[in-house]
Structures are given as C-alpha cells and as structure tokens.
Structure 1
Amino acid sequence: MSAFDARTYLQTLSEAPGVYRMIGADEEVLYVGKAKNLKRRVASYFQRTASSPRIGMMVSQVQRVDTTVVRSEAEALILENNLIKSLRPKYNILFRDDKSYPYIKLTQDAFPRIAFFRGTVGRDARYFGPLPSVWAVRETIQLVQRAFLLRTCENSVFANRSRPCLLHQIHRCSAPCVGKVSKVDYDEDVRLTSLFLSGRHSEVIDRLSDQMNAAAEALAFEKAAQVRDQIKALSRVLHKQYADSARDEDIDIVVAVARDGAACVNHAMVRGGRHLGDHAHFPAAGQGSEADMLCAFLAQHFATQPPPGRVIVNVLPDDDAEAPIPGIALALARNERERAWADMALKNAEIALRVKLDAGARATHRVRALVEALELDVAPERIECFDISHTMGEATVASCVVWANGAMRNSEYRRYNIEGVTPGDDYAAMRQVLTRRYEKVVTGEGVRPDLVLIDG
C-alpha cells in the first residue's frame, strides 16, 4: 500500500456530492469519479479487500486524493465528464466523451430529417448540441416540428410512403414523402431550422416576415397565412428560450415570497449561460419581511458555496443592512432576459409555497377527520401502518409506512421478510412483524407511535 493515510484523510471529507481525483506519484491523475456522498464513496476504496485487482492496483499508487464539492449529483456528473475528457486518467475504464450528451441531428438527405441522436458525432449530418437532457432534445424537436414541419421518420419509412401519415394531418410534417411540399420550399425550411437551432432567432423571424409580406403582396393569402402561423409558433418557442442565454455568464437568481405565515426562497442558477433549474427552500420560521428572509438565505447558502459573478433578487435589502455576500452586490433584473428569469423564479416560488400551504391544510383536515372517526382524545402526531403481501402464499413480506407531524417519512419506511409461518396466514405474519417492530420500542430503541393501523 502507499504511504497515504486514508483514515486521517477521511475524517476531513465532506458528505456532500462532488468529484474526487486519485493522485499518484509525480502528480499523475490516476482516477476521476463522482459521488453522491464524497466521504462514503472515497472510503469504499480503502477497505481491506479491494473490489477488483484493478482497483487494488490503483489504490496502492495513491499519494493524495483531491475533491471538489458541488451542489448536486447533476453538477457532479458534468464536472466528472469534463475532468475525464481533459485529464484522461488511466484507471477510468470508460472515458465519457460527447456520447454522454444528447444532440439534435439534421441529416444530409435530399429531404433532411430531424432526429434525436446520442453517440459519436460524425460528418454525415449536422449536429446541434450537446443539450443538457433528453427532455430538452425531444422538446426542441417538437417545437421545430410545429414551426417548420420537417420530417422525423426513418429513411426506410420515408421511401415507402404512399400517402401522408398522421403527423401531416396534425400539421407536424409537410409530407415531402408524397410530394406535398416542393424541394425548394423544404430546403428553405431546413435553412431556417438550422438558423433557429444555431441561436439566430431574430434572423429567422425577419426572413419569415419577409416571406409573409411577399406572399400577401402576390395575393397568395394561403401561403401568407401558413407563414404567419410559423411566426406565431416561433414566437411561443422564443418565449420559452429564456432558459438559455447567448452569453457565457454565471448568475444566481434568488427570490423570496411570504404569505399566510409561511415563506419560500427560490434559488435558480445560470451557469455558462444555461439555466440549470431552481430549488425551493422553506425557512423554519416564516416571520419577517421578504428582504430579511432573502438576506438570511443568502448569508447561510454562500457561507459554504462560492458566489457567482452576479446575484439577481426580487427585493433589495435596506441600505443600512449588512451585505449578505461579501464582495458581491445584489441587483434587480436589468434587462428583458433577466426579468424573464426573475419572473420564472418568482412564479415557481409562489407555486411551491401554495402547494406547501395546501398540503398542510389538507393534512390538518385529514387528521381532524381521523380523530372524529376514531373518537380520539388528542390528534396523533405519529402513525405507523402495516400491510402483508405474498405470492400465492410464498415469499411473504410485511411493509411499514410512517406518517409524522403532518408528512410521510419515507426514510423511516421498512420492509420485513416473514419466515416460519404457515403460507397464506396473514394473521401470523402480522403478529410477527408487529412483535419485531415494537420489541425495539419496548427496549427504548425505537420511536413509539400514537396510532397503529393494520390492513387485514
């Protein structure tokens, strides 16, 4: 084994998600990996028995382990991918290249086809991406279909069509397979699609507007109406495109909403010009102004996280308030794109808060109904429910779900394999699981429920 003191090092590791790098002699990067829990994952390499000879060989050469903590598993995946491609560590079996990300493919056929693609990018077609998710690719293809009516069918299907398919009937394809569109018009739609996927949105709208005006002047009103519908479809698409920015910028959008004694702080991130999504946070106490809760969240969050270059908020703190992020000024949205981001974050915060309040109200109503139905003196704070299942009397399993303080406690759910009972005897199975469950409560190892519900 190397001189690396794994036990001492592991005591300093975070349990947050992140990326780790095994470093050998002469600063050689041996291995790069990602982890949901850095401490647990790195510790697994330094067990007494290696999981494989390859891992054992690698661990014997480790001189140091470097880690990078990120905010989520998704960010860890992206960082791992980038590091593997740039560092090319010799013990990584699979070098994740661009195959990890999906693309939009525009073929070079006589009537090009638009399609989802994942794999090695070649020269046989035009590729747009990579995009952050499969959903993003499929959503974009659907939007392009509505605006430009390009075909998505395989060449084998395209070559053997005798009549238009359903996509043509619902105005998602111009049916070049049966000559419903000319080669010239289809090629123009392909050019506009390429411009659109390349981010040249305003140029596409200008070209379509010129086509519509020319058709109207030529009294080709049907053609003008068709182009008008394309412009409308694209306008709806572009309204959604604020999730991406043409600038390579890092921005955080943090908004706060408070009402009915509760509060929500929604945090959205833009990295490299791409909106990565948002996450709603609910303070334990909903008292105070929105500005106060915004500052409290920022101070706690960025105490352990590096701030981006710019932070957009929906309310500014008082002039005499201490800056929650040293060296970073908070600002309101300054242009249409940032206002769209802030509006999206604010709307999502309001929705999250409303859902939480509604869920709390529904839970309170249900508990009140349960108290009345069972004629209880006080409302239960913890309920445990049991059920038995089996397959034709065999493989009997009992399950326990837990409700406490107004919410289901998924982390406390348990399954029990039932043994030593007559096949199909649910009563004996229920007796066994209840005994096993509450023996621990009697000895003080478990939490005592206020109410136990059993099925059967």
Structure 2
Amino acid sequence: MAANPELQAQITALPHKPGVYKYFDDEGIIYVGKAIDLRKRVSSYFTKQDHNKKTQQLVRNIKRLEFTIVDSESDAFLLENNLIKQHQPKYNILLKDGKTYPYLCLTNERFPRLIPTRNKINDGSRYYGPYANGTALNVLLELIRALYPLRTCNFRLSPENVEAGKFKVCLEYHLGNCKGPCENHEDEARYNGYIQQIRNILNGDLRIPKQYFREQMSAAAQDMQYELAHQFKVKLDKIDAFQVKSTIVSATLTNIDVFAIASNEKSAFITYLKVMNGSIILTQSLEVTKKLDEEDAEIMAPLVMQMRQEFESESREIMTNVAIELPLPGVTLSVPQIGDKRKLLELALKNVLYARKEKESMNERSKDVNEVRIMETIKKDLRLTELPKHIECFDNSNFQGDNPVAAMVCFRNAKPSKKDYRHYHIKTVIGPNDFDSMYEVVSRRYRRLVDEGASLPQLVIVDGGKGQLSMAVKALKDLNLWGQIPVIGIAKRLEEIYVPNDPLPIYIDKRSESLRLFQRMRDEVHRFGITFHRSRRDAGTLKTELTDVKGLGPVTADKLLNKFKSVKKIRELTEAELIAEVGKAKAKVLQDYFAQNDAPSHPMPARQLPG
C-alpha cells in the first residue's frame, strides 16, 4: 500500500538507527512502535503485501509520522512502553500501569514502622513489592506483626523527644503488641534486630527468622521458662504455616521470573510467577486485547519488560513458553524443556490456560445470561405465556409487481439460526398484493411444520401493519393453529407493535432490548429477502429478451448468456461466430430478431390541425 507523497518523503528521510516511531491520523496518535532500524521497519508497513486486515486498516489511516532516535534497543523498549501508557493508541496493546499496586514500606526513621502504601516517596524508606493484590500483602503484614512487636504510632521518636517525655504508651503496649519505645521501654538494638529479620522475610528468605525463633525457644526451655518457650514455638509454627501456604517449587531455583502466554483470536493471557529462594512469592495474570493480530512472541516481549519494571524484579533469569528476544544485558532467557525448570514453566502455563478457559467460559455464560434477559423482556413486553426461545419473522418483496418473493428468518435463543432461514416464491398471488402474499407464505410455512411434526415457534412477527397481521392470523386459523402461536405485526415506525383484535398499537420503550431485537430481525429479513429478490430479478432481466425469441429455446438462451454475460455482446457477434455457437438455423433466427429490433421505427405522421 503506497504512502502519500508527504508521508513517503518522511519515510525516505528516516535514519538507519534504533528508535521509536509514532503514527498519526487526523485526530492524534494511533500507533507507537519500536525498531532497531527505523527506516527499514517503517518502510515495511507500506511495501509488504501480506499484512492482515487490521494492519491494512492501520496503514490506511496513517497521515503522518514522528520518530525519536535512541541509543539502544533496550531504550527503545522502555520509551515505547512509556508512550503507550501515556497516549493509549487505538492500535496498540494497552499495557497495565502498576502505579496503584500496593507496597510494604519499612520507614526510614528511628524505630522503623512497617506500613502498607500505594505511593512511593523518595524519603529513604525501603519499599517491598509491589504486590499483585492486597490479600497477599495483608497476609504477610499480619504474619510480621504477629512475630515482632513493631510500633504502629507515627510519633517522631527522636532521643530528645523520648527523654523529654513527650509521648505516652498506647493500648498496643498494654496488649503486648508493642514494647513502648515511645517511653524508652524498648532497646533500640534489639528492635533493629527485628527489622533485619523482617527484611529477610520481605525478601522471601524465612531461614534466618526460623533459626532465630528456634534458638530462642531452645534457650527459654533450657532456662525452664516454658511459657516463653511456648510463645516462641507459636511464632515458629506461624512461620511454618505461612511457608506451607507458599508454593515450594525447588530449593535449587532462586530468583527466576517465569512468564507464560496463551491466546485466542481476540485476546492474549499472560501469567507471571516470581520465584525467590525456591518459593513462588508473587503471581499475576492479566489479559490484553489484540489490536493487529500480533503473534504471541510480539505480545510477550514488551509485557515481560513492563511487568518486571512494575514488580521491580532484578532476577537474572527469565523463563518463557515462547522464545523471545529482549535487550537485557546479563539476563538469561530460555524456554526450558526438562527438569525442575520445565515443571515450573508448566505450572505457569497451567495457570494461564486456566485463566483463558475461565474468561472464555465467563463470556459464554454472560452471553447466555444476556439472551435469557432479552427473552424475558420480550415475554414481559408482549405479555406472553412462555419464553420466546424460537421466533420467526416474515417479509414480502417485489419490484413493480414483478418477481414477488418472501423471506423468513428464524432466531433461536435471541440469536440468528441461519440454517432455518427460508426463501419463498409466491405461487398463488398475481401482482403486488402483500396481504395475500403474507397469507400464502405463513400458510405454507406452518402447514409444513405441522406435516413434519416439527416444533412451532413461540412468537411470529410479520413485517407490516394491521393488514399483513390479519392475513397471518387468518392463515393460522385456517390451519387450526390460532391460539397456539402468538403473532404480532411491526409497523413502519418500529416502536408500533400491532397485536390481533386490538385496533391500537402497543408502544414499547425505544431503549427496550425487545425493540432492539425486533429491529435486528426486521433488518435481517429485509436483507435476506432483498438479496433473493435481486438475484431472481437480475436473472429474469437477463433472460427475458432471448427467451421471448421464437425459435430459440431456454437451454440455448442460457448457454449464450452464461458464456457472453449480456445480450449486447451476443448482438455484436458475427454470423460465423453465431453459427459456431448455436448452429446455422438458430443463428439465422437470432440475426433476424436482432435486425428487426434494431430497425428504426417509422415516424408518426404529423397531426393535421383543424382548418
């Protein structure tokens, strides 16, 4: 697809350097991409012939472009991600912004506090996380507070303030949850020892805290302080219980990021497992909508960069289920095939396949719920006695009285059932008579269903007002089906619904789902009927002139029209060409017919005005 001259000039001026490019339409940025070679990458959009439909649509909408040169492919990755998050272009996969993920903050102050927060401030505090959800954060916070007597107040506990007696212990002190550093009851060195152990826990390493409580329990038991020993035993059990809940993969696997992707036509699903010290300490799954039919590797590469950045991963090993390339010096990327690493990758893949299946099932359940709701609405609006799971809609079509036809569309569970659609040639009606045509097709349809023992619809719709409706009712009465099938007529103004034996229409709310489904069915039966009518009318228009030629049968007319497509081209054939096609006798019949019809008509004599 060729670019316009102005755009082509921009492409020609692009450098052979790494960078990021932005495509614009008349309203703004529609796509952001990265490239190792800007000119080659951008040119490929306009020179390749095998783009999918979505990419072709993107290219058609490009009016101009801008670019930014960067030093490396890694810089291009990061800049592309930031621009996508900032501008949300319509043709890009929209990457998650992790600004609202929660953290655990170990404050930078005397007697540090451990507090949950969603805002990172550059004040010297140490932030752990982010955590994929608040539940995981709260479980960890409750564990730490159960193990260590941390303060929760926000007093400024400087030595001067504490010595001056500015603060008083609170209820947490009396409950034993805090040792009262605000009144100098807590030894600062011991408190800092707690903080160091908390850092180990937050880093995913439970070995040092477990060893500490085990040693304290043994020492207390040797001193026959059994109550104190029991307290340490309870804390040790809490750590064990927490560790059991954590997924232990292998003690030999440390600091690994695992990513798995699975996709369908519309979306891609990605699962991220963060492994530290043999345990999975973080899991996150997300869904992204495909914009340009991207391959899995194309989708995964920027998301790996994005999620590592959001969850502040410094792992030097990344495992994926599809091969990708990332500009991350010192980081190993692999698709493991055997061993513990393969088992870990299969765990991630199992999670992402489950996420995809669950979302697809949810969509199906949502569709089912929507369809039932629509049918319930129709039942309520029309005061039906049963749910209209099977609805049929009829329409007539003719052109100036010629080629009269009719069509019926069938909806089951509020969705088109195209295998049940039917066309009808009007057989018993001469001329443009919509009323009698409606009687004929309704009679033919339901006589056949009765003869075949097939199920009848719960609702019949005829496109037209009271006249068409009355003829549909007459047809049902003549078939002894009146009272078994509800029938309504839709006037030209769609919101007017006519029911039998009522001269006044029912007015349905324009926002009603009933009305929207009726409109959809009427549009569908119009489309289906008109398509059939046009094909029949066009065929009739082509063949009428030749089939009216005496001495020329329909088989010969069909043969000529199929080969030459029009009467005009047949008329232009030479005598020898006609003989070769249909023989000498029929060729003479055609030539005589064309000569007679091509002859100029005699002018009418001038009318004499009375003298």
TM-score by length of 1: 0.45
Q: Which has the larger radius of gyration?
A: 2
Larger % of helix: which?
Answer: 2
